[in-house]
Amino acid sequence: MSSSQILKGILEGCLLSIIGKGETYGYEMIEKLNDYGFSMVKEGSIYPLLLRMKKEGLVATHQKPLPSGGPKRKYYTLTETGEKELIEFKQRWDAVSTSVDRLLEEEG
């Protein structure tokens, strides 16, 4: 199983968490993901995901002009539904990661 397959379901939760830390835009999300070690995430792949998250009402967007005066930039914030989803993701992730850790440690 490649890491991109494992990531598929997790990435949405990670984006919720990043956006939950304060409004942000696409490129900055990728930089933050990289800072946390997610170098396996293909940069462009977050956009189809963000489109879906917006459709599901998890995130809201607004345009802001750049300080340099260039074209407008699209910023994301969490909606109430998004915040609830983030809490649920954390719980689900805790359960999964503890179980996986426990299982793999035994093998060690």
Contact residues: other proteins, CB under 8 A: 25-27, 30, 42-45, 47-49, 51-52, 55, 71-74
Minimum CB–partner distance for residue 32 and other proteins (Å): 13
Minimum CB–partner distance for residue 106 and other proteins (Å): 37
Q: Which of 23, 8, 33, 3 has the alpha carbon at shortest distance from 76?
A: 23
Minimum CB–partner distance for residue 105 and other proteins (Å): 35
Q: At what angle do helices 3-20 and 26-35 cross, to 10 degrees?
A: 110
Distance CA 41, CA 34 (A): 8
Q: Which residue's CB is nearer to other proteins, number 10 or number 49? A: 49
